[in-house]
Amino acid sequence: MACRPFFTDQKMNAQLVAQVWRFGVVLEEPMTCEAVAAVVRSLLAGDQGIRMWEKMQEMRGMAANAFAADGGSRKNLDKLVKIVCRQL
């Protein structure tokens, strides 16, 4: 994933993608055609791109498990809905 933050929380999100979750690259200033081309090349054809793809697939599986019928996120969302519905 190539990230190009412009304002508000985008810079933080881009840093999370690139440095914490490690499945993306932040496009820094100055953003030239050559810089963008180098990032795209590294994502599509380089070892870095392969590692990022593998990391993204790992996180995709974690998200799918969390949102499955018996997953933690699904259970928490169901609890929230019950709480909100009782308030109405």
If you write DSSP's letter for every residue of 22-50 in order, what string do you get? -S-EEPPSS--HHHHHHHHHHHHHSHHHH
Domain 2-87 has CATH 3.40.50.2000: yes
Average pLDDT, the chain: 92
State the pLDDT at residue 13.
Answer: 96
State the pLDDT at residue 31.
Answer: 87
pLDDT in tens, 18-30: 999 999 999 988 8
Tell me how far CA of residue 17 lies from CA of 13, 76, 81, in angstroms: 6, 25, 30
The ranges assigned to domains in the chain are 2-87
Give mean pLDDT, residues 80-84: 95
Q: How confident is the model at residue 88 (pLDDT cuts 50, 70, 90)?
A: low
